[in-house]
Structure 1
Amino acid sequence: MNAAPADQIRLLDVQDLDVRLAQLAHKRKSLPEHAEIESLTKDFTQLRDLLVAAQTEDSDCAREQTKAEQDVDQVRQRAARDQQRLDSGAVTSPKDLENLQKEITSLARRQGDLEDVVLEVMERRESAQERVAELTERVASVQSKLDDATGRRDAAQAELDREAASVTKDREVVAAAVPADLLGLYDRLRVKQGGIGAAKLHQRRCEGCRLELDITEVNEIKAASPDKVVRCENCSRILVRTSESGL
């Protein structure tokens, strides 16, 4: 393949722009905010799950407390009715009086046991509510940090995207001046060779693979026409000759 020396040198400008685009893409992917957001998201999810569990416990305790308080109230009402019967004198049979007194005593014990249950449930609910308050605050704190990190990431990505768009436009302009066949070869090599399709020949060294050419290869390049597109024997990249090539 042949191409004017100026077109070959222009290919190095395309390569520089492609390298810059690759750097911007890598930088976008490697923003420190990505790891920060991932860590914060993990913390947020864990805390949110703990908060839901605490809220569920609080809700369960509330229902349990309501049921226990209703049980206490029922026993209290029944004991009050029995006491009223006892005080009214309507029960005259000694055996009935004895049974009524025993029931009142039993209800008193039952009421005491149920009131202990109510207190125990109230203590558990208070603990659950404190946990809910603590976790709510922690979730809000992590959410705030997550929002901040997301904002910083989005701003950084937007800036990188703007620069990438500008470089892409420059690349289109420069690439348009390169012959299609030369640009096609360069693009194919760039894909195969890790993003570098053309390299400068500097002091008899390929800037693509960083290896020095042997004397035979140097002599072949010296003998080649300036229009000939030469390739590195080591890495197959396009070698662009300049005044610094050392030929």
Structure 2
Amino acid sequence: MKAASEAQLRLLDLQELDTALDRLEHRKRTLPELAEIQHAEERLGKFSDAFVAAQTEISDIDREQKKAEQDVDQVRARADRDQKRLDSGQVSSARDLENLQSEIVSLQRRQSDLEEIVLEVMERREEAETRLRDVESDRETSEKTLTELSARRDAAYSEIDGEAELTRTARAGVATDIPDDLMKLYDKLRDQHRGVAATALLRGQCQGCHLQLNTVELNAIRAAAADEVIRCEECRRILVRTKESGL
């Protein structure tokens, strides 16, 4: 392939710009905020699940408390009725009177036991409410952290995109100085060699694979015409001759 030496030198400018674009893209993919956002989202998900669990627990306790209070009311009402019968003198039989008094005592014990259950349930509800407040506070903190991290990420994206846009504009200007066939070869080699298609020959060394060319290879390059497109025999990248090539 033939191309003016000036066009070949422009390949180095193009390569530098493409490498800058690759670095910007890599920076965008590996922003530290991305890992922090993922961690914050995972924490927020856990707190959200814990918040729902705490709400569900309180709802279950409320039903349990309501049932226990209803049981207390039923026992208390039964004891009140028996006490009224006892106080009214309606029961005249000694046996019935003894049974009624025994039942009242039994109901009072039952009421006391049920009231203890109600108190225990109320204590558990207070504990569940404390856990709910703690989880809600943690969730709000995580939401705030996630918002801040997202803002930092978006600001970094904006900065990177701005640099990339300027670099792409500069690249477009450089590309106009390079013949189509050379550009096609360059693009093909970029795909094959991790983005590096053109490199300088610096003091007899290929800056792509960093191998020193031997005397035979260097003599062949010296003998080549200025418009001959040289390829490194080792890595097959385009090898651009410069004043520092050592030829």
Report the Cα offset of residue 17 of structure 1: 0.7
Distance 1:150 1:188 in 2: 37
Report the Cα offset of residue 95 of structure 1: 2.0
Q: Deviations over 1:154-206 (max 9, x none)?
A: 11011101211221122122112211100000111111111100001111111
Q: How does 1:223-242 map to 2 (within 5 A)?
A: 223-242=223-242
Instruction: Tell me, yes or no, if structure 1 residue 210 matches structure 2 residue 230.
Output: no
Moved more, 58-67 or 36-45: 36-45
> In structure 2, what is the equivalent of residue 42 of structure 1?
42
Distance 1:210 1:169 in 2: 30
Q: How does 1:63-212 map to 2 (within 5 A)?
A: 63-212=63-212
Task: Letter of the 1:144 partner, please give it.
Answer: K
Q: Which ranges in structure 2 are unaligned for 5 or more consecutive residues? A: none
Identity over aligned residues, as a percent? Answer: 53
Distance 2:98 2:166 in 1: 100
Distance 1:62 1:12 in 2: 74
TM-score by length of 2: 0.97
Q: How does 1:4-15 map to 2 (within 5 A)?
A: 4-15=4-15
> In structure 1, what is the equivalent of residue 31 of structure 2?
31
Report the Cα offset of residue 241 of structure 1: 0.8
Distance 1:183 1:201 in 2: 19
Distance 2:24 2:93 in 1: 100
Report the Cα offset of residue 96 of structure 1: 1.8
TM-score by length of 1: 0.97
Q: CA RMSD for the aligned pairs?
A: 1.1
Question: Aligned to 1:3, what secondary structure does the other structure show?
Answer: coil
Task: Letter of the 1:15 partner, please give it.
Answer: Q
Task: Letter of the 1:240 partner, please give it.
Answer: V
Report the Cα offset of residue 53 of structure 1: 1.7
Distance 1:119 1:107 in 2: 18
Q: Which runs of 4+ in 1 moved over 3 A?
A: none
Question: Aligned to 1:91, what secondary structure does the other structure show?
Answer: coil
Report the Cα offset of residue 51 of structure 1: 2.2
Moved more, 215-224 or 57-66: 57-66
Task: Letter of the 2:31 partner, please give it.
Answer: L
Task: Letter of the 1:196 partner, please give it.
Answer: V
Distance 2:193 2:225 in 1: 25
Report the Cα offset of residue 50 of structure 1: 2.0
Report the Cα offset of residue 30 of structure 1: 1.2
Task: Letter of the 1:61 partner, please give it.
Answer: I
Distance 1:7 1:174 in 2: 9
Distance 1:221 1:155 in 2: 48
Task: Letter of the 1:228 partner, please give it.
Answer: E
Report the Cα offset of residue 244 of structure 1: 1.4
Distance 1:112 1:242 in 2: 100
Report the Cα offset of residue 234 of structure 1: 1.0
Distance 1:89 1:176 in 2: 116
